[in-house]
């Protein structure tokens, strides 16, 4: 089956620890994205990548880092510098052209205490 997988579904961490969220797609999409969703708010863009080995900051990149070493993978690291890391994180992908749909993974709920 083609699609986007995110793991784990739930993640718990202590404050001060870095944590990496996985995102893999087998849709052969060029572009990949990370969004954050908080209750009562729309999705906000953290980082996006249009091609391998290249990525750009979104609106709320502070405290996060990414890499894009392979076309199918776009992991997100939530660092200890992120002040409010508890949230629902969604990964998405699309063909590189802006006219194509974005498809989303099932999400990872991160809780930091």
Partner 1 sequence: KQEVTQIPAALSVPEGENLVLNCSFTDSAIYNLQWFRQDPGKGLTSLLLIQSSQREQTSGRLNASLDKSSGRSTLYIAASQPGDSATYLCASRNQAGTALIFGKGTTLSVSS
107: contact with partner 1 by CB under 8 A: yes
d(CA 56, CA 46): 9
Tokens of 43: 């999705």
Residue with tokens 């409010």: 84
Instruction: Give the total residue count for the chain.
Output: 113
Q: Site for partner 1 (CB under 8 A): which residue of 42, 54, 83, 113?
A: 42
Q: Which of residues 76-105 bind partner 1 (CB under 8 A)?
A: 88, 90, 92, 94, 96, 98-99, 101-105
- The answer to whether the beta carbons of residues 54 and 47 sit under 8 Å apart is no
Interface with partner 1 (CB under 8 A): 4, 6, 31, 33, 35, 40-45, 48, 50, 56, 58, 88, 90, 92, 94, 96, 98-99, 101-107, 109
């Amino acid at each position: 089956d083609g699609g986007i997988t995110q793991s784990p579904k739930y993640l718990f961490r202590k404050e001060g620890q870095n944590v990496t969220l996985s995102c893999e797609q087998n849709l052969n999409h060029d572009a990949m994205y990370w969004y954050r969703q908080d209750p009562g708010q729309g999705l906000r863009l953290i980082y996006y990548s249009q091609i391998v080995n290249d990525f750009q900051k979104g609106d709320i990149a502070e405290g996060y880092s990414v890499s894009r070493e392979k076309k199918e993978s776009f992991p997100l690291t939530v660092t200890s510098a992120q002040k409010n890391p508890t949230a629902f994180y969604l990964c998405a992908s699309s063909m590189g052209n802006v006219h194509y749909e974005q498809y989303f993974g099932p999400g990872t709920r991160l809780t930091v205490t």
